[in-house]
Amino acid sequence: MQPWFVYLLRCRDGSLYTGVAVDVAKRFAAHQAGKGAKYTRAHPPEAIVLVLPCANRSVALKLEYAIKQLSVVQKRRWLASAPTQLGQQFLCSAEGMWLEVNS
């Protein structure tokens, strides 16, 4: 089973973009080439800020959604805290894999 990842990108205008992928480097290259999401075509990405390995695709999609629900201020605060947990629903295991607690 292929691992899935949630990733956050910093765009040239300082905004943050959140997505999911199996191959983050390949997806980042697609974003930079203007072939990624509509948002990153208008806000070109300059760096990968964070990559979160997830237990499976379902967890990755739910974690992505949870991150997208945060305000910009909340995202920046969460990123600055060396994230190992997001609310009561997601946490990072000892192996570094993000899991859904209340599944």
Q: What is the value of pTM for the model shown?
A: 0.92
Q: What is the pLDDT of residue 56?
A: 94
Whether 13 shows a pLDDT value over 60: the answer reads yes
Domain ranges of the chain: 4-100
- Lowest mean pLDDT across 15-19, 36-40, 65-69: 36-40
Percent of the chain with pLDDT over 90: 86
For the stretch 47-91, pLDDT in tens is 999 999 999 999 999 999 999 999 999 999 999 998 899 988 999
- Listed as own residue / partner, the contacts of 46-50 with beta carbons closer than 8 Å and 24 or more positions apart are 46/9, 46/10, 46/11, 46/12, 47/9, 47/10, 48/7, 48/8, 48/9, 48/24, 49/8, 49/9, 49/10, 49/16, 49/79, 50/7, 50/8, 50/79, 50/83
Q: What is the CATH number of domain 4-100?
A: 3.40.1440
